[in-house]
Structure 1
Amino acid sequence: MSFKKNLDYVHLSKYFYTTSIVLTIAGIICLSLFGLNYSVDFKAGSNVDISLSKPLTADQVKPILKQIGAEDGVISAGKDRMTIRFPATLSEDNDKKLKDEVLKLDDKASFEVNTVDPEMAKELARNAMWSVLFASIGIIIYVSIRFEWRFAIAAIVALLHDAFLVISVFSLLRLEVDLTFITAVLTIIGYSINDTIVIFDRIRENLRFGKQKTRQDLINLVNQSIAQTIMRSIYTALTVFVAAFFLFLLGGESIRMFSLAMVIGLLFGAYSSIFIASPLWFALKSRQKNKTAKAA
Structure 2
Amino acid sequence: MRYDYRIKLDVMGKSKIFFTISIAITIIGLVFLLAKGLHTGVDFNAGTNLDITVGKQVDGAKVTEIMKSAGQPGGVVTPAGERVSIRYDHVLTKEDITKIREGFNTSFGENVKIEENTVDTSLAKELVNKAIYAVLIASLGIIIYVAIRFEWRFGIAAIIALLHDAFIVISLFSIFRWEVNLTFVAAVLTIIGYSINDTIVIFDRIRENLRFAKLKNYKDLTNLVNHSVSQTMTRSINTVLTVLIGALLLFLMGSESIRNFSLAILIGLVCGAYSSIFIASPIWAWLKKGSLNAPKAAAPAKH
SS at 1:8 equivalent: coil
Identity, % of aligned pairs?
55
Match of 1:129 in 2: 132
Match of 1:209 in 2: 212
Match of 1:8 in 2: 10
1:152-231 alignment, distance < 5 Å: 152-231=155-234
TM-score (norm 1): 0.94
Which amino acid is 1:279 matched to? Answer: P
Deviation (angstroms), 1:75: 1.6
Deviating more after overlay: 62-71 vs 207-216: 62-71
Deviation (angstroms), 1:61: 2.8
- RMSD of the alignment, in Å? 1.7
Matching residue within 278, 281, 287 for 1:278: 281
SS at 2:7 equivalent: helix
Whether the 8 Å contact between 1:70 and 1:86 is mirrored in structure 2 is: no
Unaligned stretches of 5+ residues in structure 1: none
Q: Distance in 1 between matches of 2:54 and 2:281?
A: 50
Deviating more after overlay: 267-276 vs 49-58: 49-58
Matching residue within 111, 115, 119 for 1:116: 119
Matching residue within 145, 150, 164 for 1:147: 150
Q: Distance in 1 between matches of 2:5 and 2:292?
A: 30
Which amino acid is 2:122 matched to? Answer: E
Q: Distance in 1 between matches of 2:74 and 2:287?
A: 54
Which amino acid is 2:160 matched to? Answer: V
Q: Which has more helix, going by share of residues? A: 1
Max radius of gyration: which structure? 2
Which amino acid is 1:10 matched to? Answer: M
Deviation (angstroms), 1:252: 1.9
Whether the 8 Å contact between 2:202 and 2:228 is mirrored in structure 1 is: yes
Match of 1:88 in 2: 90
Whether the 8 Å contact between 1:50 and 1:81 is mirrored in structure 2 is: yes
Whether the 8 Å contact between 1:50 and 1:82 is mirrored in structure 2 is: yes
Matching residue within 43, 56, 60 for 1:58: 60
Unaligned stretches of 5+ residues in structure 2: 299-303
Deviation (angstroms), 1:140: 0.8
- How many pairs were matched up? 293
Deviating more after overlay: 188-197 vs 31-40: 31-40
Are 1:75 and 2:77 matched, yes or no? Answer: yes
Q: Distance in 2 between matches of 1:207 and 1:128?
A: 38
Q: 1:250 to 1:62 in 2, by over 3 A?
A: closer
Q: Distance in 2 between matches of 1:109 and 1:262?
A: 32
Q: Distance in 2 between matches of 1:258 and 1:122?
A: 21
Whether the 8 Å contact between 2:47 and 2:87 is mirrored in structure 1 is: yes
Whether the 8 Å contact between 1:45 and 1:87 is mirrored in structure 2 is: yes
SS at 2:84 equivalent: strand
Cα deviations by residue, 1:222-244 (Å, 9 ceiling, x for unpaired): 01100111111111111111111
Q: Distance in 1 between matches of 2:241 and 2:231?
A: 17
Whether the 8 Å contact between 1:158 and 1:273 is mirrored in structure 2 is: yes
